[in-house]
Chains A and B, each alone.
Chain A
């Protein structure tokens, strides 16, 4: 069974479009995250949620809007996609906040043309 799953795995789209990435975890964790990994493999946190409440919004453009319908899901909607949004987006979860082990999804590779 997949612990943290993301869909889609690949996303190729035109500049200006709106797209969503979905994330689900079946670990019963309270905290979920979105990370962005750029072409140089640098991994940076974007958002974290704890029990559906936003904890961190790491100076991400407001074109990015996370939504947590319940504590097992954290989706990411991106409006007006730009070339610089091309990256790999990872969802992760942890049981006891950010200090504990984080479990990562397989990533969504976004390419904006």
Chain B
């Protein structure tokens, strides 16, 4: 079964606005990662948040983690056209030697 599910599946916003996407997962995790995938490219790591952390920042990115609700959110502030991409969360579950990727949110920034 799918471990991580992003919401919404697709999001279109005007350049300069903030974009928020969410990830829900089903089992306990050690950490959660967010990746970006530009069209026709491989995934690029954005940020990792550990299960004992609640919030993390990196430039225009802000990630929150709520382990009680088994959810995470990725906020991109002051969006730019170059932020147009698909965004995936990935979780590791204790005991499984792998990352499980979510279904992705396709973000389109309208210039």
A interface residue numbers (CB < 8 A to B): 4, 40-45, 48, 55-56, 58, 90, 92, 97-107
Interface residues on B, range: 20 to 34
- Give min CB distance, B18 to chain A, whole Å: 23
- Total A-B contacts with CB atoms under 8 angstroms apart: 56
Q: Closest A residue to B92 by CB, please name it.
A: A99
**Is A101's CB under 8 angstroms from B86's CB?**
no
Scoring B residues 13 to 45 as 1 if CB is less than 8 Å from chain A, else 0, what string do you get? 000000000000000001101000100111111
Whether A98 and B99, one on each chain, are in contact in the complex, defined by CB atoms closer than 8 angstroms, is: yes
Count chain B CB atoms within 10 A of each CB in A48, A102, A103, A107 and give the residue with the most. Answer: A102
B-side residues, CB < 8 A to A, are 2, 30-31, 33, 37, 40-45, 48, 86, 88, 92, 97-101, 103-104, 106
The answer to whether residues A55 and B103 also contact, given A99-B92, A101-B33, A107-B42 and a CB cut-off of 8 A, is no
**Option from B45, B86, B104 in Cβ contact (under 8 Å) with A102:** B45
- Most-contacted residue by chain B among A4, A43, A48, A92 (CB, 10 A): A43
| Cβ contacts A to B, 8 pairs, < 8 Å | A44-B101, A55-B97, A58-B98, A90-B43, A98-B99, A99-B92, A102-B99, A106-B42
Most buried by A among B37, B42, B88, B92: B42
Q: How far is it, in angstroms, between the C-alpha of A106 and the C-alpha of B103 when the chains are bound? A: 19
Q: Which residue of A lies closest to B30 (CB)?
A: A99
The 7 closest A-B pairs by CB, nearest first: A104-B42, A43-B101, A104-B43, A101-B45, A45-B98, A106-B42, A41-B104
